A and B are shown apart, each in its own frame.
Chain A
Amino acid sequence: SSAAMAALRGRALLAPLGARLRAGLRAPLRSSASAPPLYDVVVSGGGMVGSAMAAVLGHDIHFHDKKIALLEAGPRKEYDHMPDSYSNRVSSISPGSATLLSSCGAWDHVCSLRLKPFRRMQVWDACSEAMIVFEKDDLDDMGYIVENDVIMSALTKQLDAVADRVEIFYRSKAVGYTWPLPSHTCDTSPWVQIELADGRRLQTKLLIGADGHNSVVRKEAEIKNIEHQYDQSAVVATLHLSEATDNNVAWQRFLPTGPIALLPLSDTASSLVWSTSHDHASELLAMDEECFVDSINSAFWSNINHSDFIDTAGAMFRSAISLLNPSGTAVRQLPPSVAKVDPESRAMFPLGMGHATEYVQHRVALIGDAAHRVHPLAGQGVNLGFGDIACLAHHLSAAAFSGSDLGSLKHLLKFETERQRHNVSLIAATDVLKRLYSTTLAPLVLLRTWGLQATNALPPVKVRI
């Protein structure tokens, strides 16, 4: 709805800064003789996005003399050896994200561990023959499928390399934040106060919330979040293919119950991401391995949802297109068939969508899932987070080189505007796609069939995606 879209976009760009200097202020701290240690930046949340944020800042030349802290609730994980078997949590990394990871030296580690580049993405509908193929003309990689553990291993190494600048607090959950009053009015600390579960306190000039879609930073800052639980869970698993193949294509088929995706891990293995109803997801987890594999193959190969009407209409449209744009109908490749699933690799997690109405406040910024949560169907989740990091790091670096106060809304708002502009349309489009593809109703299927075919035939639109 347009009201929701307007809310999603956050405040008007010309809103006064004063509006962000917090309505619900907390009581000022009593000044104490020994103030808690003061950091220039504290990143709350040590997942892929939080760790990457700390690593990128730590490797930024203008942050050479700054103090950064990373708070992670869990223990430090040692990533010395990658197990032979693949982890079931993987991400599709865009070339832009790879560039960001390169900038802090992490991408080299990823490459030396393991990753799978893919050249092509084939997306099609279960209810029709319509298909769209994404491929880069210049034979460059479209993206990379990387296990999340591999990314974390690489980032941990790069964080260790700048340990003199970045202090990581493991097993440290932040339990309270105290926000500063606007510093010109009082004698109390102008910094954000952070209280950890074990009673330790920190102060910081800028708090970056990278603590996931249930972000505590966001809640404590009283930033409104527009959220929606999908009636879907994602089932993930590591699969072994029937036969070895180049396996450099990412496959996604839209079933009425939700999209099923096969992401290449190696010539013989792929990762499954199957978004479906909660009930079906539980069934998939409970059934024996053979049935599970059969379900997957059937999902990719079966034409049970086709109807003659749609097929005919689709075929007519395709002929029309091939008259106008002969090169506009790509060759349909066939997805690989699955032979078995890695035992213990099946898991499920619920899906939802979320968007914070503001990404920043005085001395606070949100990145990654704390700011926005999307459906995995677009394979964008972590890439949006890495995009946030690239943008925020750019502005913070310039601010540091100008001697500015790092927590100043002036540059934080620039980050927010740039990223909201980028993210909102993608999140909205993903949400629309999800809803559009959740139906077998003929008119909507026809619409998306033609839409998909037309998009496939139109180079400019495809390139933009």
Chain B
Amino acid sequence: QLSLFRFTVKRPFSTSHSSVDSKEMKKFQLLAHKWWDEEGEYAALHSMNDIRVPFIRDTLLSMSSNYHLGNPLSGIKVLDVGCGGGLLSEPLGRLGASVTGIDPVEDNIRTADRHKSFDPVLAKRIQYKSSSLEEIVEESMETFDVIVASEVVEHVADLEMFIKCCSQVLKPEGSLFITTINKTQLSYVLGIVVAEKIMGIVPEGTHEWEKFVPPEELEHLLESNGFAVKTLKGMLYNPLSGSWSWMESTSLNYAVHAVKAGAGAQPHATDTLPETDIQQRSATAGTA
């Protein structure tokens, strides 16, 4: 039985102060042209849209009082970190959001740019940039209403720095959505052995179990860096049907919605936030 409460274990520091891991970059480079094959290596990510897009959409709608169902995310500025080929950027763009997609792998950005170019509406709404998160912080302080980091944090070198950067580019009371994989015996067996080596649901070598993030650790890092965790839900992939669903347990995949503290509130390095921060819900959250 693994101990899940290992807050004291630090991740190994990389020599460059970057959240990008160059080994990880190389893995994705090889598959840069495979993003848009709905039945190829990234099939599971394509079908993940069926739950992650409604999750993001409905969470933002519930926080807003002024929207149109024909264009639900209109006026919302989204940063898609680790956007890959744009699998998540495009649906968010279709729902009306102004999306900036960043990814350190240039080939991914090239694929994403090419794919969006055929749809004039998307071409205008989405901007892609080959960049790491740190590189855009200076020019994008408190710029975005929403950040989505889906299937990314299990690949970053320095998770705390990553979260700090998210906080810097996010507007006060902005939303951060993360989906990632828990670090459990189950996730090793199903997520690595079965998914990669046996069934080939995920290209082999994509994930390293050591870098999986338990939700408790993620929650702690978020709350120590000015975020309030609002939602934590488990996700389950059914390889037979090729579809995702929500589940109670977070022992495999899970999704998090966190909200950055409002302007004027001091970020606390404690485990619990003051009552006011948690209760604070403003109509401006999630809108431009």
- List residues of chain A with CB under 8 Å of any chain B CB: 16-18, 38, 61-65, 182-184, 187, 189-191, 205, 400-405, 408-410
Q: Which residue of A lies closest to B71 (CB)?
A: A65
Assuming the A-B contacts A191-B118, A402-B57, are A61 and B70 also in contact, with contact meaning beta carbons closer than 8 angstroms in the complex?
A: yes
B57-A184 in contact (CB<8A): no
Separation of A273 and B119 alpha carbons in the complex (Å): 49
B115-A403 in contact (CB<8A): no
Q: Can you list 15 contacts pairing A with B, beta carbon distance less than 8 Å?
A: A16-B39, A38-B120, A62-B70, A183-B118, A184-B34, A184-B36, A184-B38, A184-B40, A191-B118, A402-B50, A402-B91, A403-B49, A403-B91, A405-B90, A409-B38
What's the nearest-Cβ distance from chain A to residue B90, in Å?
7
Assuming the A-B contacts A18-B39, A403-B92, A404-B49, are A189 and B118 also in contact, with contact meaning beta carbons closer than 8 angstroms in the complex?
A: yes
Separation of A61 and B71 alpha carbons in the complex (Å): 9
B53-A403 in contact (CB<8A): yes
Which A residues lie within 8 Å of B40 (CB)? Answer: 184
Q: Is B75 an interface residue (CB 8 A)?
A: no
Q: Is B69 an interface residue (CB 8 A)?
A: yes
Assuming the A-B contacts A62-B69, A63-B70, A401-B69, are A183 and B36 also in contact, with contact meaning beta carbons closer than 8 angstroms in the complex?
A: yes
Which A residues lie within 8 Å of B93 (CB)? Answer: 403
Separation of A16 and B43 alpha carbons in the complex (Å): 12
Separation of A205 and B90 alpha carbons in the complex (Å): 14
Assuming the A-B contacts A64-B70, A65-B71, A408-B38, are A403 and B95 also in contact, with contact meaning beta carbons closer than 8 angstroms in the complex?
A: yes
Separation of A402 and B92 alpha carbons in the complex (Å): 8
Q: Is B215 an interface residue (CB 8 A)?
A: no
Contact partner of B37 (CB less than 8 A), chosen from A184, A189, A205, A400, is: A184
Separation of A189 and B120 alpha carbons in the complex (Å): 12
A402-B39 in contact (CB<8A): no
Which A residues lie within 8 Å of B37 (CB)? Answer: 182, 184
B91-A404 in contact (CB<8A): yes
Which B residues lie within 8 Å of A184 (CB)? Answer: 33-38, 40
A65-B70 in contact (CB<8A): yes
Separation of A172 and B54 alpha carbons in the complex (Å): 38
Which B residues lie within 8 Å of A187 (CB)? Answer: 114
Which B residues lie within 8 Å of A63 (CB)? Answer: 70
Separation of A365 and B234 alpha carbons in the complex (Å): 35
Q: Is B68 an interface residue (CB 8 A)?
A: yes
Separation of A405 and B71 alpha carbons in the complex (Å): 15
Q: Which residue of B lies closest to A183 (CB)?
A: B36
Contact partner of A402 (CB less than 8 A), chosen from B53, B70, B115, is: B53
Q: Which residue of A lies closest to B243 (CB)?
A: A410
Q: Which residue of A lies closest to B88 (CB)?
A: A403
Q: Which residue of B lies closest to A400 (CB)?
A: B94
What's the nearest-Cβ distance from chain A to residue B72, in Å?
7
Which B residues lie within 8 Å of A405 (CB)? Answer: 90
A402-B119 in contact (CB<8A): no
B118-A401 in contact (CB<8A): no
Separation of A190 and B90 alpha carbons in the complex (Å): 15
Which A residues lie within 8 Å of B120 (CB)? Answer: 38
Task: List 6 additional contacts besides A402-B57, A404-B49, A408-B38; criterion CB under 8 Å.
Answer: A17-B38, A64-B71, A184-B36, A184-B37, A402-B49, A403-B49
Q: Which residue of A lies closest to B34 (CB)?
A: A184
Within 1-55 of B, Cβ neighbours of A (below 8 Å) are at: 33-40, 47, 49-50, 53-54
A403-B94 in contact (CB<8A): yes
Q: Which residue of B lies closest to A411 (CB)?
A: B50
Which B residues lie within 8 Å of A189 (CB)? Answer: 118
What's the nearest-Cβ distance from chain A to residue B41, in Å?
11
Which B residues lie within 8 Å of A17 (CB)? Answer: 38-39
Separation of A404 and B51 alpha carbons in the complex (Å): 12
A403-B90 in contact (CB<8A): yes
Which A residues lie within 8 Å of B47 (CB)? Answer: 410
Separation of A38 and B116 alpha carbons in the complex (Å): 13
Which B residues lie within 8 Å of A183 (CB)? Answer: 36, 115, 118
Within 49-86 of B, Cβ neighbours of A (below 8 Å) are at: 49-50, 53-54, 57, 68-72
Separation of A189 and B47 alpha carbons in the complex (Å): 23
Assuming the A-B contacts A190-B118, A402-B49, A402-B91, are A61 and B69 also in contact, with contact meaning beta carbons closer than 8 angstroms in the complex?
A: yes
Q: Which residue of A lies closest to B74 (CB)?
A: A65
Separation of A191 and B57 alpha carbons in the complex (Å): 26
Q: Which residue of A lies closest to B97 (CB)?
A: A403
What's the nearest-Cβ distance from chain B to residue A246, in Å?
45
Q: Which residue of A lies closest to B92 (CB)?
A: A403
What's the nearest-Cβ distance from chain B to residue A69, in Å?
16
Which B residues lie within 8 Å of A190 (CB)? Answer: 118
What's the nearest-Cβ distance from chain B to residue A338, in Å?
52
A38-B119 in contact (CB<8A): yes
Separation of A409 and B47 alpha carbons in the complex (Å): 12
Q: Which residue of A lies closest to B89 (CB)?
A: A403
Separation of A62 and B115 alpha carbons in the complex (Å): 23
Which B residues lie within 8 Å of A62 (CB)? Answer: 69-70
Assuming the A-B contacts A184-B40, A187-B114, are A401 and B34 also in contact, with contact meaning beta carbons closer than 8 angstroms in the complex?
A: no
**Chain A proximity mask over B106-121: 1 for CB below 8 Å, otherwise 0:** 0000000011001110
What's the nearest-Cβ distance from chain A to residue B201, in Å?
15
Which A residues lie within 8 Å of B94 (CB)? Answer: 400, 403-404
Which A residues lie within 8 Å of B33 (CB)? Answer: 184
Separation of A38 and B120 alpha carbons in the complex (Å): 8
Contact partner of B54 (CB less than 8 A), chosen from A38, A64, A402, A409, is: A402
Within 212-227 of B, Cβ neighbours of A (below 8 Å) are at: none
Separation of A410 and B38 alpha carbons in the complex (Å): 10
Separation of A430 and B117 alpha carbons in the complex (Å): 49
Separation of A190 and B39 alpha carbons in the complex (Å): 16
What's the nearest-Cβ distance from chain A to residue B154, in Å?
24
Which B residues lie within 8 Å of A205 (CB)? Answer: 119
Q: Which residue of B lies closest to A406 (CB)?
A: B94
Q: Which residue of B lies closest to A31 (CB)?
A: B118
Separation of A414 and B227 alpha carbons in the complex (Å): 40
Separation of A249 and B38 alpha carbons in the complex (Å): 53
Which A residues lie within 8 Å of B57 (CB)? Answer: 401-403
B72-A401 in contact (CB<8A): yes
Which A residues lie within 8 Å of B49 (CB)? Answer: 402-404
Separation of A189 and B69 alpha carbons in the complex (Å): 29
Which A residues lie within 8 Å of B50 (CB)? Answer: 402
A64-B91 in contact (CB<8A): no
Which A residues lie within 8 Å of B115 (CB)? Answer: 183
Within 189-225 of B, Cβ neighbours of A (below 8 Å) are at: none
Separation of A347 and B90 alpha carbons in the complex (Å): 53
Q: Which residue of B lies closest to A408 (CB)?
A: B38
Separation of A61 and B54 alpha carbons in the complex (Å): 17
Which A residues lie within 8 Å of B71 (CB)? Answer: 64-65
Which A residues lie within 8 Å of B96 (CB)? Answer: 65
Which B residues lie within 8 Å of A401 (CB)? Answer: 57, 69, 72, 95
